Amino acid sequence: MNKKGFSLLEIIIISFIVVSLAAMVLGLFSRSRALSRSMVCLNNLKQISMAIENYQADWKNSPNQLYVLYPNYLKDKFVFKCPEDKSTLTENLPNNNSYGNFYVNRSFNDEDTGKIYLFCPRHFNGSKGVGAFLSYSANIMSNNTVTRNGVKILPGDVNTGGTYSFVDGTTVVADDTVKIGLCGSFVAPDSRNYSVIFVPEESSGSFTVNHSGDSRFEVITPALIAGVSGTGFTVTTTYDSVSNQSTSTVSVSSGAVNCEDRSDGTKMSVDSGENLSITVLCQSIADSYNRTRSVPLKPLKRLKIKKFKKES
């Protein structure tokens, strides 16, 4: 009786097929787990959005920090933790949470529902993020690449000085004293590129923005939010540690900048050749590290505001 075994070539082919199938199954399983974690985060942002809406109805204002929603508006403190966030400890919730550093406290009666106010950039190895908008909707979105001096940076990174480049062609050139943080850059639900940068509290210096295309681009300082389209302008910020006051000045060289006073939501358009300067009293924060690493909190009040022409 003849016994026929497998040849070496057949063994190699079978092994290759088995390994390939195993890799496919493992990849699908890994992607399924990543999607599941993204859906948990998406649900978290939806719950936080509903809590903020209820808070606004009661107080006619937005919560200055997310953790104040607990426990009156959110009973479960674990809603404040993204499953992809490995650094936030559950025992420190909700005061230290996954979303606080990416929370933009906007005017509760803002009519532009396409503006983002909460973002989590951690999903699918950083290629996707989850965002909540003033429409109270939340979406999973693709993150865009942003570089500083030619090196990729990530949402949440805060750097001093440098040249920042965005996928839409926008550039930000900062002097060697000012700190700039990246809140996020992504493809919004309306298919437009949307980027948000911020100047942390206690930062001083200036930077110039040259914005390209029809994308959304916002600059957040302790005193104001500047939204632009096809615009060139310079932002100068100063901070006085003794009085805890911050001043932001927007100087427009081309186009127009739509500015929002963060103290009360007042909106102003600053045209080419004009300046807008706002001085505010900042919040007092015990955690100085987060104060210099996160989107600045809404100020306590406005102290000065001035709109004027550039000197010739």
* Residue 3, pLDDT score: 55
Does domain 144-312 fall into CATH 3.40.50.11030?
no
DSSP-derived 3-state class of residue 294: coil
Q: 61: how many CB neighbours lie within 10 A of its CB?
A: 15
* Residue 310, pLDDT score: 72
Over residues 291-311, the mean pLDDT reads: 86
- Of the pLDDT bands very low, low, confident and very high (cuts 50, 70, 90), residue 306 is very high
Q: Would you say the C-alpha torsion 255, 269, 187, 183 has a positive or negative sign?
A: positive
Q: Write out the H or E segment, with its range, that includes residue 194.
A: strand 193-198
- Of the pLDDT bands very low, low, confident and very high (cuts 50, 70, 90), residue 22 is confident
Contact between 133 and 104 under an 8 Å Cβ cutoff? The reply is: no
Contact between 44 and 52 under an 8 Å Cβ cutoff? The reply is: no
Residue 67 has pLDDT above 90, yes or no: yes
Pairing of strands 256-261, 224-228: antiparallel
pTM for this model (two decimals)? 0.88
Domain boundaries, the chain: 144-312
Smallest Cα–Cα separation from 167: which of 136, 190, 189, 192? 192
How does pLDDT run across 73-87, given as a tens digit for each residue?
A: 999 999 999 999 999
Buried b / exposed e across 150-186, counting CB within 10 Å, b at 16+? eeebebbebbebbebebbbebebebeeebbbbbbbbb
Task: Please state whether 163 falls in left (phi above 0), alpha (psi between -120 and 50) or beta.
Answer: beta
Residue 238 has pLDDT above 60, yes or no: yes
- Of the pLDDT bands very low, low, confident and very high (cuts 50, 70, 90), residue 31 is low
Q: Distance between CA 63 and CA 60 in Å, rounded? A: 10
Which DSSP category does 296 fall into?
Answer: P
In the numeric block, the tokens 């000045």 are attached to 249
Over residues 174-200, the mean pLDDT reads: 96
Over residues 39-59, the mean pLDDT reads: 95
Side-chain-side CA neighbours of 156 within 13 Å: the count stands at 16
Distance of CA 27 to the CA centre of its chain: 29
How does pLDDT run across 144-181, given as a tens digit for each residue?
A: 999 999 999 999 999 999 999 999 999 999 999 999 99
How does pLDDT run across 79-128, given as a tens digit for each residue?
A: 999 999 999 999 999 999 999 999 999 887 788 899 999 999 999 999 99
Q: Distance between CA 208 and CA 190 in Å, rounded? A: 27
Residue 290 has pLDDT above 80, yes or no: no
DSSP-derived 3-state class of residue 148: strand
